[in-house]
Amino acid sequence: MEVTPNISGKKKISDNIKSSIFLSPALILLLIFFLTPMLLTIVFSFTNLALTGTQAQNLKFVGFDNFVQMFNDAELYNSIGKTLIFVLFSAIIGQCFLGFLIAFLMKGKNSTFRRAIGITVIAAWVTPEIVVGFSWVAFLGDNGTLNSIITALSGIEPIAFLFEYPMVSVVVANIWRGTAFSMMAFQAALDDIPLEVEEAAVMDGASRWRIVRNITIPIVKGTITTNLMLVTLQTLGVFTLIYAMTGGGPGNATMTLPIYMYQQAFVSYQLGYGTAISLVILIIGALFSLLYLRFLKVKI
Amino acid sequence: MLKRKMFVPILLSGILLLSACSDSDNASGNSDSKSGKTEIKITWRGLGEQDNIKRYLEGFEADFESENEDIDIVLSPITASEGDYFSKVALTMQSAETAPDIVSEDTFMLSADANAGYLKPLDEYVESWDEWDNFIENIKSGTTGDDGTVYGIPTTTDSRGIWFNKEVFEAAGLPSDWEPKSWEDVYAAAETIKEENADVVPFAMNVAKANGEAVSMQTFEMLLYGTGETLYDGENGKWNVNGQGITDSLVFVDEIMNKRDLGPSLSIALNANYSSVMTQDLLPTGGVGMVLDGNWNIAHYTEGGAHPLEDIEATLGFVPFPTKDGQSPGFITMSGGWGWSIPEKSKNHDVAWKVIQAMSTEDLQTKRALTGGTLAVRNDSAESSDYLERPLIEQATKALENANFRPKNDLYPNVSIEIQNAVEAVASGTMSPEEAAANYKSKVTDIVGEENVY
């Protein structure tokens, strides 16, 4: 009994050692499989790394050549534009707004109703991306469900949605898939708002809209920022869905940066240029994050 | 306490177990398998169920293994789109653990892969191989690198032209011995078909990036070389980026797909399955009038193919593709082909060579040409009676008279991608032919360098 303080001191040290021992595999794995590839990406973006041809044998540092090439690459500007459109409509306007709306409308509704809606929306979220891609290809195809309904109702010829409205198609598919994430985040935040605050506002005669604007949104602002950031970064990197639905086409109509990067690296065999493009994606992601933090003035 | 004490040993033994597993994986990739046989892994572009090469190789495997009991042939196809196949092959050839022992190389990729150091030079082998003289001379050039070194043994060659369905032609009042003399004749026939039956696709060609090299070769280059221009001036080592022929070729694509609306819907044209839908399904059943494609499709219509026809020549015709305005030589074809190469990283060069030799005998080359519907690469195979009796062989061989080959330059695969981009952009209406040609010019200039274009 009399040596208790001593033991607890030792225990603390040995706990620290223990926990670092137990954490070290994770740290080492992170270093090997996460940090190394990231650093390599930066290194390779300054080389002429190629999959085949003379360059494949003569790996050289080419300085800023890849980045100079980028500045003159009309296709890259097109891809940046397509990426911004895709992110703006499918992530910011689509997923965040719709997610908030669903969460808001479900607040305080009876639990069976909430569960039914929740499961429906989340079903899209748990479906693997590639399966979502194929489902939408099947849904929008010439003989797909949507065209069958349109033809049956109006008798007009099937519309080749994926070729005539490719960007709209992939945006809708991504909203369908991703809304659940925002909905869940907002649901959790909205449930945390004390009922008394809103009740007090109602007593004071505030309109519904006023309550949302002046009470609900300020309280969940932190969640909005985090959610915007997560959803934006996630959408910036969407590859499988677009690749499965349109392959970046027709032409370059849905050629977002990840698809363009893949094309350059594995179709045109220019791995060096491809990795340079991946840095552009990284920079755009970082810019978006900064923008949100600045604009919404939230500390994380 | 017992649990905690047990944890570390369990963890350690787990790690050991995992590393042991990976060791044994490595061992099985080696030449010495448990049976003591040398494993020779053959890789080609697999096509799933309708795979003629697989049918042919399975037959070969059984015969070869019964004669060579110390060699175990492992068939290891890569089933991928045409473009992905080359990326995947290049990746496997980078490491001794994954490199196949024999790989099927398209002649257009051969220079690039050879320059990358992936392929073993075969000069020494062919020098002491008496069969080498039996190969058709200009086809050998297809598997020779731009440095004059032999990197592969040819196994197929081909020609391209217009496949047409005679029943569709008859219904539209067109002759079944139709021979177009210019692009105008092609438009005219397609428009006649369209007027007769709106449900039939009048004219189809490869336009989707998903179809890879087929777009460059079967469509764009067939058109370009028919305008009298070429893609690449081999003598001066310069690429054509300013020629009117580039725009003219894209105009043809635009006329067919958009202006005159004579092509398939974009849902079919831009589908990765375009080729099988068109040649295996629509062409033999009269769903399409004309298809610009390769002679090898004959394999689909013979016994054992995807869509056997009782009397091929009564249903289908194959004619050489005309030059733009009928200028000399009247018709042209692009010719390519595939060969067997040995990856530098393979551990069994000599045994692999033995297997390639066995696949390259007159008998097997003839069989290969018959199974795949391709053209023979050996003089003696080309004269064998089985080969000469194949339907439409005369027309396919005739097209070869004016054959052009793709540029022998290791940047061709990169330029080819830009061709595919241009063709798809025009076909899908994203760019006008002029815009696509201008974009092609700037992209190709970037790839090959300003000093290498004209």
CB contact under 8 A, B90 and A56: yes
pLDDT at B22: 45
Nearest to A53 among B87, B411, B446 (CB): B411
Res A32 pLDDT > 80: yes
pLDDT digits 0-9 by tens, B85-132: 999 999 999 999 999 999 999 998 998 899 999 999 999 999 999 999
Interface of B with A (CB under 8 A): 83-84, 86-87, 90-91, 109, 112-113, 115-118, 208-210, 265-267, 270, 272, 410-411, 413-414, 417, 421, 424-425, 427-431, 439, 442-443, 446
- Calculate how close chain B gets to A87, using CA atoms only, in Å: 22
pLDDT digits 0-9 by tens, B291-334: 999 999 998 998 888 899 989 999 999 999 999 999 988 999 99
Number of Cβ pairs < 8 A linking chain A and chain B: 96
Residue A181 to residue B86: CA distance in whole angstroms: 38
Interface of A with B (CB under 8 A): 50-57, 69, 72-75, 141-142, 160, 162-164, 247, 249-253, 263, 266-270
pLDDT digits 0-9 by tens, B368-401: 998 888 999 998 888 888 888 888 888 888 888 7
Q: What confidence category does residue A201 fall into, taking pLDDT thresholds of 50, 70 and 90?
A: confident
Nearest to B373 by CA among B295, B314, B308: B295
Q: Which of A195-209, B91-105, B154-168 has the lowest mean pLDDT?
A: A195-209
Residue B323 to residue B318: CA distance in whole angstroms: 16
Residue B323 to residue B332: CA distance in whole angstroms: 7
Nearest to A261 by CA among A65, A80, A68, A115: A80
Specify the amino acid at residue A88. Answer: L
Q: What confidence category does residue A8 fall into, taking pLDDT thresholds of 50, 70 and 90?
A: low
**Residue A201, both tokens:** 């506002």
Res B31 pLDDT > 50: no
- Using a CB-CB cut-off of 8 Å, the residues of chain B touching A142 are 265, 267
pLDDT at A60: 85
Q: What confidence category does residue A120 fall into, taking pLDDT thresholds of 50, 70 and 90?
A: confident
State chain B's mean pLDDT as an integer: 88
CB contact under 8 A, B267 and A163: yes
Classify strands B337-341 and B102-106 as parallel, antiparallel or unpaired: antiparallel
pLDDT at B271: 83
Identify the H or E element spanning A244.
helix A240-245
Identify the H or E element spanning B107.
helix B107-115
pLDDT at B1: 41
Instruction: Answer yes or no: are the C-beta atoms of B134 and B312 closer than 8 Å.
Output: no
pLDDT digits 0-9 by tens, A225-266: 889 999 999 999 999 999 999 888 788 889 999 999 998 888
Res B346 pLDDT > 90: yes
Res B20 pLDDT > 50: no
Residue B190 to residue B174: CA distance in whole angstroms: 10
Mean pLDDT of B406-431: 90
Closest residue of chain A to B115, computed from CA coordinates: A54
Which candidate in A245, A267, A273 is best for mutational testing of the B interface (most B CBs within 10 A)?
A267
Mean pLDDT of B270-276: 86
Mean pLDDT of B349-371: 92
Q: Which of A7-16, A267-276, A282-291, B306-315 has the lowest mean pLDDT?
A: A7-16
Q: What is the DSSP letter of B365?
A: H
CB contact under 8 A, A52 and B118: yes
Residue B428 to residue B208: CA distance in whole angstroms: 9
Res B2 pLDDT > 50: no
Instruction: Answer yes or no: are the C-beta atoms of A225 and A175 closer than 8 Å.
Output: no
Residue B154 to residue B141: CA distance in whole angstroms: 9
- Using a CB-CB cut-off of 8 Å, the residues of chain B touching A73 are 446
CA A199 to chain centre: 36
CB contact under 8 A, A52 and B417: no
Nearest to A247 among B118, B210, B443 (CB): B210
- Using a CB-CB cut-off of 8 Å, the residues of chain A touching B430 are 250-253
Mean pLDDT of B30-52: 78
Residue B150 to residue B122: CA distance in whole angstroms: 5
- Using a CB-CB cut-off of 8 Å, the residues of chain B touching A69 are 446
Q: List CB contacts of A207: < 8 A, sequence separation 6 or more.
A: none
CB contact under 8 A, B118 and A252: no
Residue B209 to residue B215: CA distance in whole angstroms: 7
**Residue B370, both tokens:** 């018959």
Res A223 pLDDT > 70: yes
Residue B99 to residue A99: CA distance in whole angstroms: 49
Buried b (16+ CB within 10 A) or exposed e, B118-140: bbbebeebbeeeeeeeebbeebb
Q: What is the DSSP letter of B321?
A: E
pLDDT at B29: 43
Q: List CB contacts of B344: < 8 A, sequence separation 6 or more.
A: B93, B99, B117, B118, B119, B120
Instruction: Answer yes or no: are the C-beta atoms of B399 and B317 closer than 8 Å.
Output: no
**Residue B73, both tokens:** 């042939």
pLDDT digits 0-9 by tens, A106-117: 887 888 888 888
Closest residue of chain A to B429, computed from CA coordinates: A251
Residue B184 to residue B325: CA distance in whole angstroms: 8
pLDDT at B13: 52
Identify the H or E element spanning A149.
helix A145-154
- Adjacency order of strands within the sheet including B160-165: B201-204, B288-294, B160-165, B316-322, B331-335, B403-405
- Using a CB-CB cut-off of 8 Å, the residues of chain A touching B113 are 52
Res B254 pLDDT > 60: yes
Mean pLDDT of A62-82: 89
Buried b (16+ CB within 10 A) or exposed e, B155-170: bbbbbbbbbbbbbbbe
**Residue A174, both tokens:** 């991504």
Helix axes B362-372, B349-359, angle to 10 degrees: 70
Res A54 pLDDT > 90: no
CB contact under 8 A, B443 and A75: yes
Closest residue of chain B to A137, computed from CA coordinates: B267
Domains and CATH numbers, chain A: 7-57 (no CATH), 67-297 (1.10.3720.10)
- Using a CB-CB cut-off of 8 Å, the residues of chain B touching A247 are 209-210, 272
Angle at alpha carbon of residue B84, lines to B445 and B403, rounded to 5°: 60
Nearest to B446 by CA among A47, A57, A71, A43: A71
pLDDT at B181: 94
pLDDT at B25: 42
Instruction: Answer yes or no: are the C-beta atoms of B362 and B385 closer than 8 Å.
Output: no
pTM for the structure as a whole: 0.82
pLDDT digits 0-9 by tens, A180-197: 899 989 988 998 888 888
Closest residue of chain A to B7, computed from CA coordinates: A22
Task: Please report, rounded to a whole number, the percentage of residues in chain A having pLDDT higher than 90.
Answer: 37
Classify strands B331-335 and B403-405 as parallel, antiparallel or unpaired: parallel
- Calculate how close chain A gets to B446, using CA atoms only, in Å: 8
